[in-house]
Amino acid sequence: MTKKLTVSALLVALAMILSYLETLIPFNFGLPGVKLGLANLVVVCALYLLDTRSAFLISMVRILLIAFTFGSLAALLYSLAGGLISFAVMALLRRNEGFSVIGVSVAGGVTHNIGQLLAAVLIVENLNLFFYVPVLIIAGLITGLLIGIISKYVIPPVKKAVRQM
Amino acid sequence: MKKKDLILILVLVLISVAGLAAAGFLQKDEGAAVVVTVDRQEYGRYPLSEDRTIEVSDEAGRNVIVIKNGQVDVTEADCPDKICVDHAIIRYDHETIVCLPHKLVVEIVGGDTSDVDVTTR
């Protein structure tokens, strides 16, 4: 129990640092609303290091902390929408043996963008925003792929370290 | 990378390519339009790409608007000053021809932007 709490706390701290890093070095793709989402790396790893419940808590806590520290109320709404949908999809695919970390991360990246867009559509009440869906799918695909590839190499050694703790 | 990962990525790429194609198709359909306004009410909206002649006549007066080769001109009017008839042809976004006596405004919306003139809004 203490070990799980410690690992969770470390992961939340890591997510915050990664988000802070991202504000320092903006990975600008030239598209509004599109960013690398380094903090998602932590959530993907948490899904493989801990149980689903802990991973969910980590995701929610990091969203709240990051929004209150670096963002605004609007940013909180968008990240919550994206975070909840992408977590649900990633947790589901995680249980399916046919998908590797990369597939899980790609699905998470794409659904995170879709969730944010849905929130935006509800807030500004403009259905024309749906024209942006293809762009967001491609963007989520690329960022998800990057996060997935990093996760693939990060998870095994971290898992080993956690076991030895 | 497993087989299902690749299928997922492939499906996502296909969806977005189809979506982009659909969006491009839908937007092309709209194109530039010529909006005719009489006394602040929209009288009609016509595609700039189709040649046609529009006759606007009411109690205030009569104007003939000609759309040809992506250009708009007012060719006839029974107003006293004929400023709208003398006005140069218009073809770029936001360009207008106005006939004040008849409260008629012909404007191009969603057209190409002129290289020379810029409208600030």
**Closest by alpha carbon to A15, among A50, A86, A67, A82?**
A67
CATH number assigned to the domain comprising residue A88: 1.10.1760.20
What's the pLDDT score for residue A47?
A: 94
End-to-end CA distance of chain A: give it in Å, rounded: 12
Report the mean per-residue pLDDT for chain B.
Answer: 86
What's the pLDDT score for residue A156?
A: 94
What's the pLDDT score for residue A21?
A: 87
What's the pLDDT score for residue B118?
A: 64
Whether residue A103 and residue B4 make contact (CB cut-off 8 A), yes or no, is yes
Nearest CB to B5 within list A99, A110, A134: A99
What's the pLDDT score for residue A33?
A: 64
CB pairs under 8 A between A and B: 49
**Closest by alpha carbon to B15, among A137, A23, A157?**
A137
- Cα A90–A96–A99 angle (5° rounding)? 75
Looking at beta carbons, which residues of chain B come within 8 Å of A99? Answer: 2, 4-5, 8
Q: Could you tell me the residue range of the domain that residue A61 belongs to?
A: 2-164
What's the pLDDT score for residue A72?
A: 81
Number of separate domains in chain A: 1
Position B8 confidence tier, pLDDT thresholds 50, 70, 90: very high
Element (H, E) at A101: helix A101-124
Whether residue B16 and residue A133 make contact (CB cut-off 8 A), yes or no, is yes
What's the pLDDT score for residue B93?
A: 84
Whether residue A137 and residue B2 make contact (CB cut-off 8 A), yes or no, is no
Hey, is A48 helix, strand or coil? helix
Which segments of chain A have a pLDDT < 50?
Answer: none
pLDDT tens readout for residues B23-78? 777 765 557 889 999 988 889 889 888 889 999 888 888 999 999 988 999 999 98
